[in-house]
Amino acid sequence: MLGTGWFLFDKLPDQMPTHWNIEGQADAYMSKNSAILLFPGITLAIALLFPILSMIDPRKEKYVLFRRPWLILQTVFVLFFAYMYFVSLYIALNPNVPITPFILGGIGVLFIVIGNYLGKVRQNYFVGIKTPWTLHSEEVWNKTQRIGGWTFLFAGIVILINGFVKWQLAAVMIAVIAVAVVVPIIYSYILYRKLKKL
């Protein structure tokens, strides 16, 4: 990432866009010296943070049970930030190219991958859908992650498609993320109450 940034350094504008609104319009800028370092720095921090989380988690023994999904989730987050870095460089060099399909496409793929592996994540304090009810009951945890996997998969597909269709971007984005997050939370509560009565 840094190599690419420095290779393109002379071609990049002095002020680079670093944030875009839902309509794909740049609304924050940064000097190219800082912008070139920002995403690689965030990516490095994330790559270092994941192993630390698994070591300090009170339920760290559980990570052995989902080692491959854990590795894939770490990798996809690192790749996502690397992808966003390359997109930001490309848009800085081609300001007339719409960025919305790139951003929502990346977010959509991220959600799809999370959805595919969420159901395999075992009980822990850092990864997955954590509610008082999932953390209290392993059965509630496992079933909630499976439901969450489907809702994240659904949200990812909708976000990915809407990145190209561009229909009611803000409303659709808020709605699908709400579905992805709220439905599993409600489900975990209902399931916990049901199991408690048995």
Domain range annotation of the chain: 2-197
**pTM given for the model:** 0.91
User: What is the rounded average pLDDT of the residues 160-164?
Assistant: 93
Q: What is the pLDDT of residue 145?
A: 97
Q: pLDDT band at residue 198, thresholds of 50, 70 and 90? A: low
**Are 81 and 43 contacting, i.e. CB atoms less than 8 angstroms apart?**
yes
For 76-129, the pLDDT digits (tens) are: 999 999 999 999 999 999 988 999 999 999 999 999 999 999 999 999 999 999
Alpha helices in the chain (DSSP H): 2-7, 32-56, 67-93, 100-118, 132-136, 138-165, 169-197
User: What is the rounded average pLDDT of the residues 26-32?
Assistant: 89
**Are 98 and 24 contacting, i.e. CB atoms less than 8 angstroms apart?**
yes
Q: What is the pLDDT of residue 173?
A: 92
The angle at the Cα of 121, spanning 65 to 58, to the nearest 5 degrees, equals 70
Q: pLDDT band at residue 3, thresholds of 50, 70 and 90? A: very high
Sign, CA dihedral 141-147-152-155, equals: negative
> What mean pLDDT is reported for the chain?
93
